[in-house]
Structure 1
Amino acid sequence: MIASPASRPQPKSDPELLLLHALPLDGSMWAKQMHLLPDATYAPSLYCAGDTLHAWARAALEPVKGDNIIVVGCSVGGSCALEVAMIAPERVSSLVLIGTKARHRPDPAFHARALRVIEKDGLEAAWETYWAPLFSRATSAAVVDQAKRMALPHLPGEIARGVSVFHTRPSRDDCLSAFPGRVTIVSGADDVAPGPKISASQAEATLDGHLRIIPECGHYVPLERPGALNRILAEVIAAQRREPRTR
């Protein structure tokens, strides 16, 4: 469970960044964020970590050393960030959730359909069906092509596992509303999954929520608008350095 504000000690260590990737990408999607905290940034690729979000979260935490972790996740990576906060509440000081929906209602038919597309039609067909439409129309074709080149080298079984982790993830809206640290909710203005409206309602439900809507941007903010995201992350890092968590 998330610790109560009064029971959470102040962090002793310097901030660290844990960056958790979206489907069907991997840790390389964070290339333009890796410089923000040199030697204290981790961007694991999680497809081989297990078949549950809990297993992904445990694997993501393994290399991180301190107790002042800023966990940043995009899409299923944001869901994994919430799971990290459930596993190690005494170590997570701040969450940045990008294109993330904390509440989950399983859709077995959608899940099964996505797995069939991957198995029968291949990753390229799945890319065009499920993930390419999540980019903003304002995003350059070069950026979309770059993301596609990240996705397609993966084995179909790896992405299918990620799809199943996404569709079987627990609902964590209770974690979102109880987390006592800073929560920054980021959405592209053109995102449809979950989009600005749901993102705003999630920010309102937190104890210390901050909403950031990025114009002319879709679901994959780290790729589509890296400069805007880096300014947000720099703000979060500065806040953790300036005001150690006491809540």
Structure 2
Amino acid sequence: MTRKPKLGLLFLHALPLDGSMWAGQSNLLPNSTYMPTLYRLGNSIEAWAAAALTYAREERLVVVGCSVGGSCALEIAAAHPERVAALVLIGTKANRRPDPQLHASVLETIEKQGLEAAWKTFWEPLFAKSARTSVTNAARDIFLRQSAHDVANGITVFHTRPSYGQTLSTFSGPVTIVSGGEDIAPGLKVSAEQANCAREGTLITVPDCGHYVPLEKPERLNEILRDVISAQYGF
């Protein structure tokens, strides 16, 4: 019987957070889990993906991305499909619709009003209305640890990333699309369309949850990830 290669977990974070947003998932595959912070890895999603992949030692990876991290995961699948055993995309929009006005507005808010104002305007509303204050405060603290320069770079990478609809539809492995039931970016409709587009796509909806499933519902996400990992090993 052929022995399956050791599996690694590569987590790619959402804006405007960093790799620490995955703390609740850190024990799923001990010593084979990677949570890089992306902002300083380059000025494009391609550069982020190439650099993030160097963190992982394992031959095969379950690549998990939230929001822009999901786009980074799709870039890895496009550039190095042989390394990707499965994709888990959380609150991810594979196709980019240019929105230069929003791009400029976020950068201007950070520059003129500061990070706190940008958080309240653009990211705090992405949490479910029922999200615990402790959860949103913890996310805000992660955000405020970032420099304005790094966040601005992340915003520009997000707004200039390619579209990955074709990658999503041609990737040969399993793709699990996870959406908070109250996520407005991209929302359930887009998430369902993406699951249907994938060759081996599954949509999982997490009730009473917004955009940041790893923070809002970490245990539910861990259940989902355990199932994905087990499927790779044939359990």
Normalising by structure 2, what TM-score?
0.97
**Is 1:36 matched up with 2:28?**
yes
Q: Deviations over 1:111-133 (max 9, x none)?
A: 11111011111111110010000
Match of 1:127 in 2: 119
- The answer to whether the 8 Å contact 1:16/1:40 transfers is yes
- Look up the match of 1:3: none
Name the structure with the higher helix share. Answer: 2
In the alignment, which residue of structure 1 is the partner of 2:6? 14
User: Distance in 2 between the 1:37 and 1:153 partners?
Assistant: 27
Partner residue in 2 for 1:45: 37
Q: Is 1:234 aligned to residue 226 of structure 2?
A: yes
The aligned residue for residue 155 of structure 2 is: 163
Aligned residue pair count = 234
CA distance in 1 between partners of 2:222 and 2:3 (Å): 23
Q: Is the 8 A contact 1:11 1:91 kept in 2?
A: no
Contact kept in structure 2, 1:12 and 1:67, CA below 8 Å:
no
C-alpha contact (below 8 Å) 2:7/2:61 kept by paired residues? yes
Q: CA RMSD in A?
A: 1.2
Distance 2:189 2:99 in 1: 21
Q: Quote the residue 1:185 is aligned against.
A: 177
Name the SS of the counterpart of 2:81 in structure 1. coil
Superposition pairs of residues 1-247 of structure 1, within 5 angstroms = 12-242=4-234
Structure 1 window deviating more from structure 2 (82-91 vs 220-229): it is 82-91
Letter in 1 for 2:218: P
Question: What is the one-letter code of the residue matched to 2:70?
Answer: G
| One-letter amino acid matched to 1:127 | W
CA distance in 2, matches of 1:131, 1:87: 30
CA distance in 1, matches of 2:78, 2:195: 18
One-letter code aligned to 2:75: E
Identity across the alignment (%): 55
Deviating 4+ runs (over 4 angstroms): none
**Gaps in structure 2 of 5+ consecutive residues:** none
* CA deviation profile, 1:48-91 (whole Å, cap 9, x unmatched): 00110000001110021222210000000000000111121111
Q: TM-score, normalised by structure 1?
A: 0.93
